[in-house]
Amino acid sequence: MDDGQIKSFHVPFGNPSIISMSEYILVYQGYCHYLSLDTPDCILGISNTILFAATISEWKIWQCSRTGWFQTNPECEAHHMALKNCTSSLQGSEKEKFNGLLYVIYDLLAMLPVC
């Protein structure tokens, strides 16, 4: 934004639906209680929550587009592993942005009185 122009950028897994579902899982379902915010594993737990939310989102989209409502998808675990591999293969600015997302969520959880 040096020249006064606003620039947009892509944050891996930063989709509002995925972030909202992650918030629901961590805050409203209380899974933040299972994260120890003073250990490095906390970031891994937040990352796993985001991957879980992304897997659910992708699975529901697949389910609705192919089979209709409330039918199982045997490829759900494969989708989750593919997303996990995607985060593992992030490099450069994409990895920095994803890590930034994890730390923003970490900071928000650290401010909550319930976590």
**What is the rounded (10 degree) CA torsion for 26, 9, 61, 56?**
-20
Residue 84's identity, in one-letter code, is: K
3-54 pLDDT per residue, tens? 777 777 677 788 888 899 999 999 999 888 888 888 888 888 999 999 989 8
Q: Are 12 and 98 in contact (CB under 8 A)?
A: yes
Asked if residue 19 is part of any domain, the answer here is no
> What pLDDT sits at residue 92?
92
Structural domain range at position 94:
43-115
Give dist(CA 41, CA 71) in Å, integer.
34
Give dist(CA 59, CA 80) in Å, integer.
9
> Is the model's pLDDT at 75 over the cut of 80?
no
Asked if residue 11 is part of any domain, the answer here is no
Q: Please, which contacts does 4-9 make with residues 24 or more away whose CB atoms are closer than 8 Å?
A: 9/97
Domain total in the chain: 1
Asked if residue 94 is part of any domain, the answer here is yes
| Chain mean pLDDT for the chain | 81
